[in-house]
Amino acid sequence: MSEPTFPASFVSRGFDAAMQFHLVRATGDEVVLEYTIDERHRQPYGIVHGGVHCAAVETACSTGAALSAMPRGQAVVGVENHTSFIHAVRQGRVRVIATPLTRGKRSQLWEAVSQDESGRVIASGRVRLLCLDAGSDLAGEKVSSGPRA
């Protein structure tokens, strides 16, 4: 059975597009996401805003969890994001690598590490995700087993 994949446009629209997040590799076992720091990512002190780190961790973890749940006909939604900011960074390319800690039928826990170009860890986080069966209600709509095309 082949690995499920997202539509090519998945991370190239909405918030992820606004943040210029790019998927390098994505499977149900590992997700690699990258972005190049520019003005959109910085807070007033000139360093990457903590919310950007949280969002990158969430995107990487959610993508992997979704790919893991799709073969079961499920979608996922994040219910908790705990991201720690370890080293401030002002410029360069950031790589976020997410891997699963547990992939149950009702919930998943994924962990991500963000590194700068030298490999220094700049943030790390864990995201707990709820697995939803296709047809479940989510914010007034029925969910499907994959992202909207």
Enzyme catalytic residues:
58
* Sole residue written with tokens 């992202």: 147
Q: Which residues contact 90 (CB under 8 A, 6 or more apart)?
A: 37, 42, 46, 47, 48
* Sole residue written with tokens 């790019």: 22
**In angstroms, rounded to a whole number, what is the distance separating the alpha carbons of residues 45 and 15?**
23
Cα 96–Cα 62–Cα 91 angle in degrees, nearest 5:
25
Q: Which residues contact 41 (CB under 8 A, 6 or more apart)?
A: 19, 35, 48, 49, 52
